[in-house]
Amino acid sequence: MRRLLNVERAVQLFFELDGAEEDAEPESEPESEDSDGEVDDPACVLDEEREKEEPPTSTQSAPRRSAQRNGRCGVPTRSRSPLAQAEETRPRSEPWKTAEDADTAPAVSRFQPRRSPGVQLETLSSYSPKDLFLLFFATDTVRTICSNTNKKAAEKKQLGCKYQWTDVEMEDLYKCFGLLAYMSLVSLPSLQDYWRQNHILSVPLPAKVMSRDRFRSILWNIHLSDPEEDVENERKKGTPGYDKLFRVRPLYDEILSACQAYYHPRRELAVDERMVATKAKTGMTQYMKDKPTKWGRKLFVLAESCSGYTLRFKIYTGKTNTASEHGLSYDVVMNLIQPSCLGTGYHIYMDNFYSSPKLFMDLAKMKFGACGTYRESRRGCPRGRANALTKKSERGSVRWIREGPLVFVKWMDTREVSVCSTIHSAFSGETAQRRVKDRAGRWAAREIPCSTPIMAYKKNMGGVDLSDQLIQYYSTHRKTARWYKTVMLHFLDIATTNAFILHREISSARQVQAMTHKDFMVSWCVSCVAWTRQVFPRAGELIMSLCPLTQPQVLAQKPQRAG
């Protein structure tokens, strides 16, 4: 039933409706203004890593519908990309400076190592290759490996595996290492060829050391950890107590300890990745398309820049729940750098995977200098385009911006190179030689200006690459079915390479001629395959080699010319 109104009530409702229509248009104005000014809200500023646009919510689309209903064109709230919005809201950085602008190098922490840099052994004594190798593969550790290998072989026999097995002794394991070294020196197509008789590929040594079946059975059963403890560790899978590296833990800890105990590095260090080739189907296998070894185990390595000595390394095991809010690259560097062991004042060089302003500033607080290439998308890196390099910039052009102790440098070579540093000034007159075409079209060497941090980076970044190069010369790596055996062989390579570097340092300190890398490996191989049953030394004890070093040759001074 319709409600009847008197004249007085009808007039009152008429004027109320008329006033509401007049107020409808101004009410939509603040909403439209807010939609234009949303990017000024600090909560809307996004990092470089968040590039996806958020879908508009119902509350955001309501002002647009209200504006269209009143005859106006609504302004979209997300008309620009989040990166563009973040760039507009970021405080505008100062323009890039050029090589003509003077820059002052920051105050660098004094170099104060915990120990005297160099070999931590008595350099007046002579050491054979076997003596130096035993520093890294101590006999106590080898005894443990023999015991665990025998347990693993007995376990396989109980499961029904049919093969001949005699418990392995230390003598057998060292001979096995010697044969692996021999195979790195003498390369043949297959393992069977080393024991082939009356053939063009026949070699006499392996058959004299041990039979082929014995060698293969040792490699098949070799086990670093206790098989019973392996079972206990597997039961912890999915819990914080599970150790993904438990299978290599005994030798892993021993090698890490030895690498730091017998050598103390000089000031320049490098951090980089290393790949150990394997395609084993485990969660730890990585793929890196830019590395020579694309599939394998990834190791993060800290090495001395000048010698390539491996100081510390960390095997990557995938994502963990213990990662910090700063990311993997930050955590890796902080884990490798230990001031309690190294000291202070070291200069750390790294590539753009690790470099970030946050990391460099935190290292500076720890009294460590840092230098490395960087990615412009990193949080905190300058993105201003005022006076920046362009594709048409002349080769050798330099641009830089300083923010406290941290300097960001761009240098134009064949392409733009970006480096940041807390050690150097932006430019101090260095030049780099490049081959360029002259006006006649002929190639000629030319000196072009080069930034100071880039020159230092090129000189000191190659520590890990040098270590990889030395390892690859005589690597014992073989294709195996078990990932922990691949890692064990890499530990063997680290031990022999670091032992060779120690030999060079000791020879230099004694002013005697050092052996070449090949001669060092031959001597170590002979001492291992000729190992006999003796009273084996305990960990840290040194014995004379069965194949001792040749008589030291004092470096003769060049005779001076008369008058």
Mind listing the pLDDT tens digit for each residue in 194-216?
999 888 888 989 999 999 999 99
Please tell me the predicted confidence (pLDDT) of residue 315. 93
Q: Which amino acid would we find at residue 8? A: E
Q: Which amino acid would we find at residue 459? A: K
Closest CA to 114 of 257, 255, 261: 261
Burial class (CB in 10 A: 0-12, 13-18, 19+), 127: buried
Angle at 464 between CA 308 and CA 454, to 5 degrees: 105
- The encoded tokens of residue 317 equal 């095991």
User: What residue has token string 């911006």?
Assistant: 401
Please tell me the predicted confidence (pLDDT) of residue 544. 34
Q: What is the mean pLDDT of residues 117-124?
A: 90
How many C-beta atoms surround the C-beta of residue 553 within 10 A?
11
pTM of the predicted protein model: 0.77
- The pLDDT-based confidence of 474 (bands split at 50, 70, 90) is very high
In angstroms, rounded to a whole number, what is the distance separating the alpha carbons of residues 273 and 153?
Answer: 35
User: What residue has token string 């007995």?
Assistant: 154
In angstroms, rounded to a whole number, what is the distance separating the alpha carbons of residues 399 and 458?
Answer: 18
Stretch (H or E) spanning 269: strand 268-277
Give percent of the chain above pLDDT 90.
51
CB 512 within 8 A of CB 506: no
Q: Which amino acid would we find at residue 134? A: L
Please tell me the predicted confidence (pLDDT) of residue 87. 43
Who has greater pLDDT, 104 or 270?
Answer: 270
CB 464 within 8 A of CB 270: yes
Please tell me the predicted confidence (pLDDT) of residue 346. 96
Please tell me the predicted confidence (pLDDT) of residue 60. 44
Rounded to a whole number, what is the distance in angstroms from the first to the last CA of the chain? Answer: 135
Q: What is the mean pLDDT of residues 30-51?
A: 39
In angstroms, rounded to a whole number, what is the distance separating the alpha carbons of residues 382 and 93?
Answer: 7
- Please write the tens of the pLDDT for every residue from 253-302: 999 999 999 999 999 999 999 988 887 777 777 877 877 778 888 999 99
Q: What is the mean pLDDT of residues 127-150?
A: 93
Please tell me the predicted confidence (pLDDT) of residue 436. 84
* Three-state DSSP state, 480: coil
- Please write the tens of the pLDDT for every residue from 54-77: 444 444 444 444 444 444 444 444
Please tell me the predicted confidence (pLDDT) of residue 16. 59
Answer yes or no: is pLDDT of 561 > 70: no
Helix %, strand %, coil % of the chain (to 5): 40, 15, 45
